[in-house]
């Protein structure tokens, strides 16, 4: 049985809100994943900055420290 042109158009228009819902659902999922990744990148690393000693060590002192 063939469908009339108006039934085909009405059926197509009835499915448009469903397609829009699916697209918005997928879009929201990707946005939430992107926000989580961006928040993780914005966090500062928890590293303590330590000053370097200005004095130089002799080879004998280094050898004694490693033993």
For residue 49, the model assigns a pLDDT of 74
Query: Reduced to 3 states, what is the DSSP secondary structure of residue 22?
Result: helix
Predicted local distance difference test score (pLDDT) of residue 59: 58
Is the whole-model pTM more than 0.85?
no
Q: Which has more pLDDT, 32 or 62?
A: 32
- Which pLDDT does position 56 carry in this prediction? 61
Residue 53: pLDDT band (50, 70, 90) is low
Distance CA 60, CA 67 (A): 11
Domain-wise residue ranges, the chain: 5-66
């Amino acid at each position: 049985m063939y469908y009339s042109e108006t039934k085909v158009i009405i059926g197509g228009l009835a499915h448009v809100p469903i397609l829009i819902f699916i697209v918005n659902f997928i879009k929201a999922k990707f946005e939430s994943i992107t926000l989580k990744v961006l928040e993780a990148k914005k966090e500062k690393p928890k590293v303590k900055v330590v000053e370097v000693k200005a004095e130089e060590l002799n080879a004998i002192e280094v050898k004694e420290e490693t033993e």
